[in-house]
Structure 1
Amino acid sequence: MLADPSSKLGMFGAVFAALYAAHQVADHWVQTQWQADTKGQPGWLGRLACAAHVATYTLTAAIGMTVSAVSHYIADRRTPLARIAAALGSARFHAFGAPRPGRDDNPTLGTGAYALDQAWHVGFLFVAALWIAGGAS
């Protein structure tokens, strides 16, 4: 049986499930190819593409997702997660499966960078769900 939805635990579970579902839809269905291809590039074009992706991501979730939106932007700029991975001794895992420079020799979703990106997002979805449920009356 489901937890009482009026309880904070029930609220947390419902909010986390909603945020996780919204994240999956926004990252894999709503995000445009241009956003996906451009959001990690340096300069204003990369920033614009990333901000456009985060805006559609946030609209998809349509609830108080400030924590999730900020963490999503940080992750999708790519460099911050690469730096965090390096600082934690996971630089090789972050680079795992990535195509060699100038080549498209591993067109797959199964890279270390992708796994770390998704883990970052889900971790902050957890934090956002705790935040939202904690503020529920």
Structure 2
Amino acid sequence: MTTSRAARFAAAYALLRGSADIADHWIQSDHQATTKGQDGAAGRWACAAHVASYTAVQGAVLLGGARLLGLRLRPGPVAAALALSAASHYVADRRAPLRRVADATGKGAFVRMADHGLNGAYLLDQAWHHAFETCAALIVSA
């Protein structure tokens, strides 16, 4: 990896990660947060609306930050990275798929933990997002 690719990766990851927290915790509406994991059309629509605003925030921060930093990002990798982030975010936020992954990997008890100041579902959700944001940053920096 060249220095410029490493710099693009580090910047892209920081921009994606920071914007994800803003979009997930400040931009997402209470309705989206409480409805997105429900079965049926209402849950799917709430999750899709959340992911749309989440992706818009990530895209704006990524492109704006890259411009301020003087990084040249190619449109194709940026679009692919944002698509990966959006799709993986939708899967996790529908909740049932992440519970199934947790069950299949022996983390079923952890994902259901909501005691002692911990919320296992939230922690696994965030770990999932961080992993895919890392992959997205790798795509951007390619």
State TM-score, norm by structure 2: 0.81
Structure 1: which 5+ runs fail to align?
99-105
Unpaired segments ≥5 residues, structure 2 = 63-77
**Distance in structure 2 (CA, Å) of the matches to 1:77 and 1:61:** 19
Structure 1 stretches of at least 4 aligned residues deviating more than 4 Å after TM superposition: none
Q: Determine which of 79, 84, 89 is the counterpart of 1:67.
A: 84
Q: Which residue of 2 aligns with 1:94?
A: 111
Identity %: 47
- Alignment RMSD, CA only? 1.7
Distance 1:77 1:83 in 2: 11
1:6-53, Cα deviation, whole Å (9 max, x unpaired):
x10010000000000110000000000000000000000000000000
Deviations 1:38-73 (A, max 9, x none): 000000000000000000001111253111000000
SS in structure 2 of the partner of residue 89 of structure 1: coil
The Cα offsets for residues 77-100 of structure 1, whole Å up to 9 and x where unpaired, read as 0011100000000100000117xx
Q: C-alpha distance in 2, partners of 1:40/1:94?
A: 14
Which residue number in structure 1 is paired with residue 101 of structure 2?
A: 84
TM-score for the superposition, normalised by structure 1: 0.84
Larger RCO: 1 or 2 (CA < 8 Å, sep 6+): 2
Post-superposition shift, 1:111?
0.4
Q: Distance in 2 between matches of 1:9 and 1:59?
A: 25
The alignment partner of 2:106 has SS state of coil
After alignment, is 38-47 or 62-71 more displaced?
Answer: 62-71
Amino acid at match of 2:101: I
SS of 1:56's partner is: helix
Which stretch has the larger CA shift, 81-90 or 55-64?
55-64
Match of 2:40 among 23, 38, 43: 43
Aligned to 2:71: none
Q: Distance in 2 between matches of 1:81 and 1:52?
A: 19
